[in-house]
Amino acid sequence: MKDRRTRKSAAGAACGLAGLLLSVFCYAPGARAARFVSINMCADELLLRLADPADIASLSYLSRDARNSTIATQAAAFPVNRGRAEEVMALAPDLVFASAFSAPATLSMLRRLGVPLAVLDVPTTFEAIVAQVRGVASRIGRPEAAEREVHLMNGRLAGLRRELPLSPATALVLQANNIAVGAGTLIDSVLAEAGLVNLAAQAGIVGYGRMPLEAILIRPPDILIVETDNEGAPALATQAPRHPALAALARRGAMRTVDMPSRLWTCAGPGTVEAVAYLRRALQGKTP
Amino acid sequence: MSTLRPLTHRQTVAALAMVAALLTALSMAVGETRLDVFAAAADFVHGRDSLASLILVELRLPRALLGAATGFGLGLAGAAMQGLLRNPLAEPGVMGISGAAALGAVVMFYAGLTGVFAFALPLGGMAGAAAASVILFALAGRGLGTMALVLAGVAINSLAGALTSLALNLSPNPYAALEIVFWLMGSLADRSLADIALALVPAAPGWWLLLTAGRALDALSLGEDVAQSLGFNLRWLRIRLILGTALAVGSAVAVTGMIGFVGLVAPHLARPLAGREPGRVLPAAGFVGAILTLGADILLRLLPTQPELNLGVVTALVGAPFLFLLLRRLRGEA
């Protein structure tokens, strides 16, 4: 998933059309290195993939936490911020990347202060990921980086699709507090690419919805997918999908449980293809 | 045809036990999916592996049993405390014993100790309950009045609540802080057979300690001097009730969170049925506690709220007005 990054070379890349439409600011590479700041972990990943490292002034502190982030090692080389308006201002950024889920107070403060801001939405399909990658790349003046990433991702997806079995298995993703992941989510798209039918979506859950244990037991999925990351520190919420009744179901051979590191699908980006690959390996019985 | 005679005490307790057993069975018929309970039970008895029997045994049975056991323990502890302290407001919830039990369980659970040793959870609950009982009974021994004792309970409750909240906020798991709701307003949802073992193994000897304190409490109701002259050791009685309450309440709260007011209401409802002597109230209050808890837990699953209400919310909705009534009656007597 680590890609080769080229030093700033051809400075001729023009400002992309998407960039022009999205904002007033559009970075045109010049003599001085740009100062891009990200206050969102998912935007961090896109910057690391697309931007010239010399242009990255700061990433969010969350990206250094290997439990939740897939880019912890790369992010260690960059200064980090905690996403507060004051520290962002102090970085004198040319462009700040945030998420639609960033703190509203911070976003409105940055807008008031006139800081160029790119607020990224959260793609839920691989097509939307491609569009976002191209949009971000054009705003930082590196459209060729976007095409490289998109090409790699689509190639990877096509390769995984060729290995798909003929009959899809049903799957249920059970998050903390027994929240099931339904239709219209990134995870739903990942399941589809991994050749799985999302049972929660079939049950009519759009977005995220609670799935009672009894409902799971009466109509079990072939594959139960449980996220693993927070289990170092216990909470009732994260223990809920580990209920003994589900374990009993698995013991009877009625269902298989697959552990999923949730950081693989926390962010929508070119790296999300790793979540598909992980599930494919797990389903084939290999250690993922 | 015999004429209608009032039930003997034994018959009253047996009748209450039967109602509790009936509600335990009824509780297993209520759930989030339609289930042929009799077919599911038959599947289980004949060893047929069906999904319905799995739901019945792994989900509904633990919930029903835990409801009965928790309610029994709370009612029993409430009756014992009201007898010992000769205070109609005494009960594990109001006096802060449940709150301290929750704190002990929270510390054990979120520190990760229960992952290493499962019984650390009820042990934590029992340690908390015992600590709070020792403080309360020591204060009571110094002749604190009814209201002063209740205020001491308020102090223990707020301190335990604040420390519980602190412990949850210190957890690195982002979900932990939200779980204060479960610990303060308990629930029987999605408990498992493993939880049954954790709660019942320590609770059973606790019930025995409380149930067998009846005669000493009867003597105490005539005054401390009378009780002592009848040969009852009051110091030993206190220790026995502290241990019994810690075992019965501490282990239950560790698994279900705090379920308030059952211990307060149950003895008051049991008295008109079983008589006023503490020894008679004890077993009756236990079964009334089980009936109240099971009834509330069945009710909240029949309500159309999604997700279901916490059991502690329902018992508080019933119990808090009851406490107000009691306070009014006490003022009338004073």
CB B296 within 8 A of CB B314: yes
- State pLDDT tens for residues A203-251: 999 999 999 999 999 999 999 999 987 657 899 999 999 999 999 999 9
Residue whose tokens read 């049993």: B65
Q: Cα(B227)–Cα(A36) distance, rounded to whole angstroms?
A: 81
**Contacts (Cβ under 8 Å, ≥6 apart) of B128:** B100, B101, B102, B103, B104, B105, B160, B250
* Least CB–CB distance from B59: residue in A214, A230, A240: A214
Q: Cα(A264)–Cα(B136) distance, rounded to whole angstroms?
A: 52
Q: Cα(A177)–Cα(A237) distance, rounded to whole angstroms?
A: 4
Would you state the pLDDT for residue A23?
44
CATH code for residues A165-283: 3.40.50.1980
Nearest-5° angle of CA B106, CA B110, CA B113?
100
The closest of B179, B188, B306 to A205, measured between CA atoms, is B306
CB pairs under 8 A between A and B: 83
Contact across the interface for A235 and B115, Cβ inside 8 Å: no
Would you state the pLDDT for residue B331?
79
Contact across the interface for A245 and B55, Cβ inside 8 Å: yes
**How many other CB atoms sit within 10 Å of the CB of residue A186?**
22
Q: Mutation test of the interface with chain B: which of A213, A239, A243, A249, choosing the one with the most B Cβ atoms within 10 A?
A: A213
Contact across the interface for B193 and A244, Cβ inside 8 Å: yes
Would you state the pLDDT for residue B167?
96
**Closest-approach residue (CA) in chain A for B256:** A236
Residues of A in contact with B179 (CB under 8 A): 235-237
The closest of B77, B124, B74 to B103, measured between CA atoms, is B124
Q: Mutation test of the interface with chain A: which of B28, B51, B181, choosing the one with the most A Cβ atoms within 10 A?
A: B51
The closest of B209, B249, B241, B248 to B103, measured between CA atoms, is B249
Residue whose tokens read 């409490």: B217
Q: Tell whether B47 is within 8 A of chain A (Cβ).
A: no
- State pLDDT tens for residues A59-102: 999 999 888 889 999 999 999 999 999 999 999 999 999 999 99
Would you state the pLDDT for residue A8?
40
Would you state the pLDDT for residue B327?
85
Q: How close B22 gets to chain A, by Cα (Å)? A: 22
Residues of A in contact with B112 (CB under 8 A): 233-234
Higher pLDDT, B34 or A138: A138
Query: Token pair for residue B110?
Result: 């979120």
Contact across the interface for B58 and A248, Cβ inside 8 Å: yes
Contact across the interface for B31 and A214, Cβ inside 8 Å: yes
What number is the average pLDDT over the span A276-287?
86
Query: Token pair for residue B80?
Result: 């014992």
Residues of A in contact with B174 (CB under 8 A): 230
Q: How close B110 gets to chain A, by Cα (Å)? A: 6
Residues of A in contact with B109 (CB under 8 A): 234, 236
Which residue numbers in chain B have pLDDT < 70? 1-4, 333-334
**pLDDT score of A21 more than 50:** no
**Closest-approach residue (CA) in chain B for A246:** B58
Which residues, numbered 151 to 190 in chain B, qualify as contacts with chain A under a Cβ-Cβ cut-off of 8 Å?
Answer: 171-176, 178-179, 182, 190
**Contacts (Cβ under 8 Å, ≥6 apart) of A215:** A203, B32, B33
What number is the average pLDDT over the span A139-158?
96
Residues of B in contact with A236 (CB under 8 A): 109, 175, 179, 182
Predicted confidence band of residue A199 (pLDDT cuts 50, 70, 90): very high
Contact across the interface for A233 and B51, Cβ inside 8 Å: no
Architecture of A17-157 per CATH? Answer: 3-Layer(aba) Sandwich (3.40)
Residues of A in contact with B33 (CB under 8 A): 212, 214-215, 218
- State pLDDT tens for residues A26-35: 455 555 788 9
Would you state the pLDDT for residue B33?
86
Residues of B in contact with A237 (CB under 8 A): 173, 175-176, 178-179
Domains in chain B, start-ordered, CATH in brackets?
A: 9-333 (1.10.3470.10)
Question: b/e per residue, B28-52, with b = 16+ CB within 10 A?
Answer: bebbbbebebeebbebbeeeeeebb
- State pLDDT tens for residues B164-209: 999 999 998 889 999 999 999 999 999 999 999 999 999 999 999 9
Contact across the interface for B190 and A215, Cβ inside 8 Å: no
Domains A17-157 and A165-283 equal at CATH topology level: yes
Q: Mutation test of the interface with chain B: which of A174, A211, A218, choosing the one with the most B Cβ atoms within 10 A?
A: A218
Task: Measure the CA dihedral B18/B23/B24/B30, to 10°.
Answer: 160
* Least CB–CB distance from A234: residue in B52, B109, B194: B109
- State pLDDT tens for residues B200-239: 999 999 999 999 999 999 999 998 899 999 999 988 999 9
Query: Token pair for residue B135?
Result: 């403080």
Q: Mutation test of the interface with chain A: which of B116, B175, B178, B193, choosing the one with the most A Cβ atoms within 10 A?
A: B175
Residues of A in contact with B52 (CB under 8 A): 218
**Closest-approach residue (CA) in chain B for A212:** B32
Domain boundaries, chain A: 17-157, 165-283
Contact across the interface for B175 and A235, Cβ inside 8 Å: yes
Average pLDDT taken over every residue of chain A: 87
Contact across the interface for B32 and A214, Cβ inside 8 Å: yes
Directed axis angle between helix B9-29 and helix B278-302, to 10°? 20
